[in-house]
């Protein structure tokens, strides 16, 4: 069993006039096979948590720890974090001109696994994953995210997820910009890797994603702190009454 453990995490970013603290003491533990949802209003620090764990240089961890099976994640380079079993699906995936989807994916798998998959096996696995995500086979020859629609970018992220099979997957607003049909296909892909034992951290500010990807644990982040935790019923309370109900709890921990 793999365990991602985040303890008292404080993170700042450079802003006009100096550093601005975004995360103010996050505690969170995610185990293999578990699905945790991080919810909260815009600007609460949800994406900052994702990028900090993944190692984005924009975010400075000022105190706290992040460990993966006891190993210090914060001491790892970005590629070392990926090889250790961490995966990040970004809210806004970037374009990689001149690199085909097929080459990108095979290179990523090679980097994470330490050796290139056999070509025949690789083509079979990639075609199967693309078929399950209802991706046109010609997609493999296109440049990564170049000219992709929002739905195509998200399907490409989930295609990576299914082929890399990480221990822990962090999905930053995977539902952003998706229509109903694309959201269903993407959610089915996430559910497949969940069933295979991947621990999932879903970051979202609405509940529609959780209707398709059930969360075992739901956490509410306001102003850089987790102010409430619970089960699926917490997401239902947010859907009914919004985030204003947590304002008092947020004020109490300032």
DSSP string, 55-122: T-TTSEEEEEEEEETTEEGGGS-HHHHHHHTEEEE-SSPPPEEEEEHHHHHHHHHHHHHSSPPPHHHH
Q: How far apart are CA 101 and CA 141, in angstroms?
A: 6
Predicted local confidence at residue 175, as pLDDT: 85
Give the H or E element holding residue 201. Answer: strand 199-203
Per-residue pLDDT, 14: 87
pLDDT digits (tens, 9 = 90+) for 61-118: 999 999 999 999 999 999 999 999 999 998 778 888 899 999 999 999 999 888 999 9
pLDDT on residue 149: 84
The per-residue pLDDT for range 131-161, each reduced to its tens digit, is: 998 888 888 999 998 888 888 888 889 999 9
Name the residue with higher pLDDT: 106 or 251.
106
Residue 252 in this model has a pLDDT that exceeds 70: no
Report whether pLDDT(178) > 80: yes
Classify 194 as helix, strand or coil.
helix
Q: Helices 150-164 and 101-113 meet at what angle, rounded to 10?
A: 30
* Sign of the dihedral through C-alpha 193, 239, 28, 20: positive
What is the set of domains in the chain, with CATH numbers? 3-252 (3.40.50.300)
Per-residue confidence at 214, pLDDT binned at 50, 70, 90?
Answer: very high
Residue 249 pLDDT exceeds 80: no
Phi, psi for 7 (deg, rounded to 5):
-130, 125
Query: Count H helices, E strands: the chain?
Result: 8, 12
Kindly indicate the confidence band of residue 254, based on its pLDDT and cuts at 50, 70 and 90: low
Instruction: Give the residue with greater pLDDT, 175 vs 197.
Output: 197
Output the pLDDT for position 137: 86
**Percentage of the chain exceeding pLDDT 90:** 65
247 contacts 235 by C-beta, under 8 angstroms: no
| Residues 44 and 5: beta-carbon distance below 8 Å | no
Please give the radius of gyration of the chain, using alpha carbons only, rounded to the nearest integer. 18
According to the model, what pLDDT value does residue 253 have?
60
Residue 162: which pLDDT band, with cuts at 50, 70 and 90? Answer: very high
Question: Measuring CA to CA, which residue among 234, 248, 225 is closest to residue 28?
Answer: 225
Token duo for residue 138: 């010609």
Mind spelling out the 3-state secondary structure of 51-67? HHHHCCCCCEEEEEEEE
Tokens matching residue 173: 């607003």
């Amino acid at each position: 069993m793999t365990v991602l453990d985040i303890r008292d995490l404080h993170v700042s970013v450079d802003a006009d006039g100096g550093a601005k603290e975004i995360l103010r003491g996050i505690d969170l533990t995610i185990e293999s096979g578990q699905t945790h949802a991080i919810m909260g209003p815009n600007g609460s620090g949800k994406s900052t948590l994702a990028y900090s764990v993944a190692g984005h240089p924009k975010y400075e961890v000022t105190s706290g720890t992040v460990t993966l099976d006891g190993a210090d994640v914060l001491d790892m380079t970005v590629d070392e974090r990926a090889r250790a079993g961490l995966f990040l699906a970004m809210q806004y995936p970037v374009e990689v001109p001149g690199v085909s989807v097929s080459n990108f994916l095979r290179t990523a798998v090679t980097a994470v696994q330490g050796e290139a998959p056999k070509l025949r096996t690789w083509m079979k696995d990639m075609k199967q994953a693309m078929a399950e995500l209802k991706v046109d086979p010609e997609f493999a020859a296109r440049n990564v995210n170049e000219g992709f629609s929002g739905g195509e970018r998200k399907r490409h992220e989930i295609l990576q997820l299914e082929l890399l099979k990480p221990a822990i997957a962090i999905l930053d607003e995977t539902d952003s910009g998706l229509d109903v049909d694309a959201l269903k296909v993407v959610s089915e892909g996430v559910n497949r890797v969940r069933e295979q034992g991947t621990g999932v951290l879903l970051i979202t500010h609405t509940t529609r994603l959780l209707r398709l990807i059930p969360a075992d644990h739901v956490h509410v982040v306001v102003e850089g702190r987790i102010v409430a935790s619970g089960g699926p019923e917490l997401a239902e309370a947010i859907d009914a009454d919004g985030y204003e109900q947590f304002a008092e709890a947020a004020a109490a921990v300032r």
